Amino acid sequence: MAYVGSHGYHEFINLDLNSIPEQVCSSSAGCKSGGVGSATGTVAQGAEYIPVGTRPNPYLNSGQQWSTEATSSYNALQVELTRRIGRGLQFRGNYTWSKDLDSASGLASSNSSNTPQYPQDSYHIKADWGPSAYNTTNQASGNFSYELPIGKGKPWLTGVSGAADKVVSGWQVNGIVTLLSGLPMTPVSGSNRSGNGQNGSNADRPNVNPAFTGPVIVGSVSEWFNPNAYLLPTAGTYGNVSKGSLTEPGLADFDFSLFKITRISERIGTEFRAEFFNIVNHTNLGTPNPQVFNGTAISPTAGAACKRNRRKLCGSG
């Protein structure tokens, strides 16, 4: 049993410092919001919003800057068990219970495919502190191997010899079990609803629907999460859904193999292998579509997952 922990400072994060910073509405009549977006809205006095206007530097478009402002934290409890039971049977298992938090999971979209590459607000990075794109709360794996007790020197057919010995001796079965809980995922609005003009517009998140009842996680292939749990924010404002607030499908896999070693002479032998991946044919789903809205309407593919296998990840060719 072991504890593993780490804390990271000054890690890289993608920012767009030519996006429009938030303001607080000071007018009793309300304020017009919308930034550089085509849609506009009105917010009440005291509300935070993106004012209609241009970027801080109107001569530049959106951009990408790397800054060393991100932080991270990892804590884990690890347990491992190895046991040789005897008579050719051995087993090894391990389990990790962990929590990985950060304010930025990766500079490239491939490093954070299940969470936005940019923070929602480049001027308020702490608002994106939450589960890392790599956070797997529960990880368990185990493997076993068993030399079948058949053939010369074994409990069964121990006196066999000659050609019969070559056929029945040297068999071994093996198995590998992998169990992983799902990675965090962040629902997104699907457009730069805030109008802040930020590069990586899919970082904007929706609002929680206060009238929604029932489970948010549905768990089906066509609809892993219920998009009706979210509302489109007023144009020119940020959504209040937190980063990594949902959990995508987990993974369960059992691989089985059958080996046979046949000794022809002291220096020559042959080996037969038969390997079966995911032998129980358990369906493992990939990252569901995090885009909740298509324009102002709920996207028909919101929450839709795809099936993955060992050769092909969702969305790959």
Q: What single DSSP character describes residue 137?
A: S
H-helix segments, the chain: 162-168
Distance (Å) of CA 61 to CA 15, 109, 196, 199? 14, 21, 11, 9
Residues 248-284: tens digit of each pLDDT? 999 999 999 999 988 887 788 889 999 999 999 999 9
Domain ranges (residues) in the chain: 2-137+181-249+286-308
Q: Can you give the pLDDT at residue 116?
A: 87
User: Does residue 309 surpass a pLDDT of 90?
Assistant: no
Distance (Å) of CA 35 to CA 38, 191, 192, 219, 295? 8, 13, 10, 37, 17
> Over the chain, what is the mean pLDDT?
90
Q: Can you give the pLDDT at residue 200?
A: 66
- Quickly state the pLDDT bin for 34 (edges 50, 70, 90): very high
> 19 exposed, middle or buried (CB, 10 Å; 0-12, 13-18, 19+)?
buried
pTM for the full model?
0.85
**How remote is the C-alpha of 137 from its chain's centroid?**
11
Mean pLDDT across 133-158 = 90
Q: Can you give the pLDDT at residue 120?
A: 93
- Quickly state the pLDDT bin for 310 (edges 50, 70, 90): very low
Indicate the residue type of 131: P
Q: Higher-confidence residue: 202 or 317?
A: 202
Residues 82-113: tens digit of each pLDDT? 988 877 899 999 999 999 999 998 777 776 67
Q: Can you give the pLDDT at residue 308?
A: 62
- Quickly state the pLDDT bin for 129 (edges 50, 70, 90): very high
Q: How far apart are the first and last CA of the chain?
A: 41
Separation of alpha carbons 75 and 98, rounded Å: 6
Q: Can you give the pLDDT at residue 245?
A: 95
- Quickly state the pLDDT bin for 197 (edges 50, 70, 90): very high
- Quickly state the pLDDT bin for 315 (edges 50, 70, 90): very low
Q: Can you give the pLDDT at residue 313?
A: 44
Mean pLDDT across 197-224 = 91
- Quickly state the pLDDT bin for 312 (edges 50, 70, 90): very low
Mean pLDDT across 117-125 = 92
User: Does residue 237 surpass a pLDDT of 90?
Assistant: yes
Mean pLDDT across 141-161 = 86
Separation of alpha carbons 272 and 259, rounded Å: 6
